[in-house]
Amino acid sequence: MNVENAITPNPTQMAGFSDGADHGPIYMLNLLKYRERAEYADGRKSGLSGREAYSLYTDGVSELLKEFGGSLTFKASVERMTIGEVEELWDDVAIAMYPSRAAMMQMMQSETMRDIGAHRAAGLAGQLNIECVGALGSWL
């Protein structure tokens, strides 16, 4: 299995947002890897760590999620791998709920997201986002 952290979706992944399927709520599992030091694309100097820059993004996106009917449902630090192997562990894991793919796409295109997105890009070395559908009770 090839694992590749990224910052943005590729064209095929982007097309999935508009494929017409409406699964209702989606849960986006985020596996986050931070830069040691934040690196802003506009060249601004910062004494922030990658985690600190991403935390500024998290503060803003938590409020933005509410505006679009979603929520940050879980966030924690990764401690260790208990099954399987990867070359390097992610730093944090987070789960965000969006009422639909369309709501997530609208949020991602908002002016507020453009403003706070600089902190996300500065803080992340890469991530995996995994879209999940269904509810816990549906398989128990």
Per-residue DSSP letter, 43: -
> 22-134 sits in which CATH class?
alpha beta
The residue extents of the domains of the chain are 22-134
Pairing verdict, β 92-98 and 26-34: antiparallel
Name the residue among 112, 135, 104, 6 with its Cα closest to residue 59: 112
- In this prediction, the residues of the chain whose per-residue pLDDT falls under 70 are 1-2, 16-23, 135-140
pLDDT tens, 83-117? 988 889 999 999 999 999 889 989 999 999 999 99
Q: What pLDDT, on the 0 to 100 scale, is given for residue 1?
A: 60
